[in-house]
Amino acid sequence: MNYIQFLEMRPEISLLAIFVIIFTYDLIARGKWRHYFHPITCLLLMLHTGICMSESYREIDIFSGMYYTNSMIGILKTILTGGTVLLVLQANKWLRSANTTHKQGEFYTLLLSTLLGMYIMISARHFLLFFIGMELASLPLACLVAFDKYRHHSAEAGVKYILSSMFTSAVMLYGISFLYGTTGTLYFQEMTSGIDGSPLQIFALTLFFAGMGFKISLVPFHMWTADTYQGAPTVVSSYLSVISKGAAAFTLMTILIKVFAPMIEYWQIILYALTVLSITIANLFAIRQTDLKRFMAFSSISQAGYIMLAVIGGAKDGMSALVFYVLVYIFANLAVFGIIETIEHQTRSNVSRDDCNALYKTNPRLTLLMTLALFSLAGIPPFAGFFSKFFVFMSAFKAGFWILVFIALINTVISLYYYLLIVKAMYITPNETPIPTFNSSKYSRISCVICLAGIVLLGICSFVFEEIDRISFGM
């Protein structure tokens, strides 16, 4: 065995090391040392991001082909880790509140184990490993959703999440068993040759989509999303909406192009329907929401639909569009959730759209950041969201899905409407008693500035996309 191979697993190894450090620290740290818990975690995670990013990855199979990595996967892991760092920065105030401060360690360890699960899920080239990764990414998330256990909604959200998660996992496993039955292997590489589009395999594909559809929260597997996002602590909602979704979307794409490549016409039909449904239905529901977290839940479902536009072609440029979209989406969505989180600390309850009325008068900078983030989500230039949406449309158009692109484009106008409703509330709607001026914590301010930089610069600095495009792969 060549041990140097394990260097390519450095994201997993270093994450595991951090996990152990934090776990031990949680056990032994007392008194003022607990005060340093948050900064130490942030530093460790930043260090970890550096390790992930450090240099290009070799293309390599480890464990007789169960684990695979290349530069693209390495980049994606870096992106997900970077997003998690931003998220932990934003979580600072919430973690120090009376109900959660003693559970800080648990939060970090649970969060990191889901991240580890996602790493494994992305890198898996064997369905068993993939399934383990997916479960590792899902189960701790259920605990995180129910983290504010004294809040009624949080517990309810946790139950909803765990039940639907378990159900879809079972369905998916059932699908995988069919695949194993028809091809006689669980390795992606060997399975492809056995895929011939037989009815059983079509059935298996459908069940597989149900499982992934749940993770990415595509319509009609989205029922849990709104309630869970609303009930979960804001940090966790934002984690669910960006990191978890990004990892799952990428995995879906790799499995579709690696395993189900011979069945492309089948999965394109399924994906077509899921995309249209997700974008349209989520948009129509989002219009009616007044609770901001619920609103963001539907917005994230429709964004997931846009991500699927990149998947549907199964080509190289689709993958670069997907990863770029996820990257931009992380910045924009984390900015919005970060702001919701800070406002939540002022209102002490869930934030509704009316709470934002005339926010500009009292908190101009926060409002401006929120506006830019919403514009980026809606795909307004010169912000990064415009570029990522354009690339996604371009890749789907190239694959020949004109009508789909057109439907998606019409939907961007609808989505603009509901994003503008928030902008309108913040700038235009008169309000005698807006939320008074407040200062957010310096950690969340740092993360906001990073998000802002991402939103403004990612589109203009083309080298990010070019770099992603250079290493992406397709069918």
Applying CB under 8 A, among 13, 128, 287, 413 the residue interacting with another protein is 413
Query: Per rule CB under 8 A, is residue 423 in the interface with another protein?
Result: yes
Closer to another protein at the Cβ: 147 or 375?
A: 375
Is residue 284 a contact point for another protein (CB under 8 A)? no
Nearer to another protein, 334 or 380 (CB): 380
User: What is the smallest separation between the CB atom of 407 and another protein, expressed in angstroms?
Assistant: 10
Q: Is 381 in the site for another protein (CB under 8 A)?
A: yes
Q: Which of 416, 435, 452, 455 binds another protein (CB under 8 A)?
A: 416
435 phi, psi to nearest 5 deg: -60, 130
Candidates 70-78, 122-130, 134-142, 458-466: pick the segment binding another protein (CB under 8 A): 458-466
**CA distance linking residue 130 with residue 41, whole number of Å:** 28
Q: Which is nearer to another protein, 142 or 396 (CB)?
A: 396
Q: How far apart are the first and last CA of the chain?
A: 31
Least spacing, CB of residue 75 vs another protein, in Å: 15
Asked if 412 is part of the footprint of another protein (rule: CB under 8 A), the reply reads: yes
Q: To the nearest whole angstrom, how small is the minimum distance from the Cβ of residue 167 to another protein?
A: 37
Only one of the segments 109-117, 233-241, 337-345, 386-394 lies at the binding site for another protein (rule: CB under 8 A); that segment is 386-394
Cβ distance to another protein smaller for residue 218 or 423: 423
Q: What is the size of the binding site for another protein (CB under 8 A)?
A: 31
H or E stretch including 156? helix 152-183
Taking phi over 0 as left and psi of -120 to 50 as alpha, with beta for the rest, 215 belongs to alpha
Confirm or reject binding of residue 402 to another protein (CB under 8 A). Answer: yes
d(C-alpha 41, C-alpha 446), whole Å = 15
In Å, what is the CA distance from 73 to each residue of 142, 154, 254, 423, 451?
26, 33, 10, 36, 23
Q: Which two tokens stand for residue 42?
A: 């942030």
Tell me which stretch binds another protein (CB under 8 A): 13-21, 198-206, 407-415, 432-440: 407-415
Phi, psi of 106 (to 5 degrees): -60, -40
Q: Is 473 in the site for another protein (CB under 8 A)?
A: no
The reply to whether 264 sits near another protein by the rule CB under 8 A is: no
- Distance between CA atoms of residues 445 and 439, nearest Å: 9
Cβ distance to another protein smaller for residue 300 or 320: 320
Helices (H), 348-363: 359-362
Residue 105: what residue type? Answer: G
Q: Is 466 in the site for another protein (CB under 8 A)?
A: yes
Residues 6+ apart with CB under 8 A from 413: none
Phi, psi of 24 (to 5 degrees): -65, -45
Q: How far is Cα of residue 46 from the mean position of the Cα atoms in its chain?
A: 19
Is 114 a binding residue for another protein by CB under 8 A? The answer is no
Say if residues 448 and 339 touch (Cβ distance below 8 Å): yes
State the Cα–Cα distance between residues 364 and 370, nearest whole angstrom.
10
Q: Applying CB under 8 A, does 380 fall inside the site for another protein?
A: yes
Those residues with Cβ within 8 angstroms of residue 466's Cβ, 6 or more apart along the chain or in another chain: none
Rank residues 40 and 394 by Cβ distance to another protein and give the closer one. Answer: 394
Binding segment for another protein (CB under 8 A), chosen from 129-137, 139-147, 163-171, 462-470, is: 462-470
**How far apart, in whole angstroms, are the C-alpha atoms of residue 391 and residue 230?**
31
Return residues touching another protein (CB under 8 A): 317, 320, 375, 380-382, 386, 390-391, 393-394, 397-398, 402, 405-406, 409-410, 412-413, 416-417, 420, 423-424, 427-428, 462, 465-466, 469
